[in-house]
Chains A and B, each alone.
Chain A
């Protein structure tokens, strides 16, 4: 099946710094990429949807200036957590979709802000 990778798989950063997470579709062109956040023992929560070459659509309650999403190519989307705080510590998961086809999920990135 299709493969989606994320980098890094885990990151620890200090409060106030910014962290960039990459999501790549390795063997297909993803017209749409999704970013999710997951707290322990909870389900995935959609943060934003991004289409290649256009601005991301953020879900209600998600700060677009804090969670910057760039989908510059059909195989790469990035999520930058700006001025990170301990409450931003979470598991961030991306998924990618080609057209209206199946969504493929990345392995996730565990962010810890100290």
Chain B
């Protein structure tokens, strides 16, 4: 069964802290997405990756194919990073399977 699990479900941190959100999946995938959803609801695609590591500004995404695990890191976190972060995996077909999301709150 194609499953995607995220941890933690909720994360509260102080401004400036280094943040890590984890995502594990059940079987081999062709690609994994990290998405950001703000309270207003709109979704932003942060990364799509199938191997290695990608970096954009303060965001870093890594994936370990052998361990079936991906992480999203935020350096020097800021209150505007507060959002729900979702990982979603392509299990070789058209559909994305979504994790349940990690609600991140950064306190000033």
Measured CB to CB, the residues of A under 8 A from B are: 1, 32, 34, 38, 43-44, 46, 49, 91, 93, 95, 102-108, 110
Contact = CB atoms under 8 A, between A and B. Distances in A.
B7 interface: no
Interface residues of B, number: 16
B96 A105 contact: no
A5 to B, nearest CB: 11
B84 to A, nearest CB: 9
Contacts of A108: 41-43
Contacts, number: 42
Contacts of B48: 102-103
Query: In terms of DSSP, what is the predominant structure of the interface of chain A?
Result: strand
Given A43-B99, A44-B98, A107 B42 contact: yes
Contact of A46 (B35, B44, B96, B99): B96
A103 B45 contact: yes
Contacts of A103: 33, 45, 48, 96
Contacts of B42: 105-108
A12 B94 CA distance: 32
A32 B94 contact: yes
Interface string B38-71: 0001111100100000000000000000000000
Contacts of B86: 43-44
A24 to B, nearest CB: 15
A105 B35 contact: yes
A67 to B, nearest CB: 17
Contact of A93 (B33, B43, B100): B43
A110 B45 contact: no
A41 B35 CA distance: 15
A105 B95 CA distance: 14
B101 A43 contact: yes
B45 A104 contact: yes
16 contacts: A1-B45, A38-B41, A43-B101, A44-B43, A46-B95, A49-B94, A49-B95, A91-B41, A93-B41, A102-B33, A103-B48, A104-B45, A105-B44, A106-B43, A108-B42, A108-B43
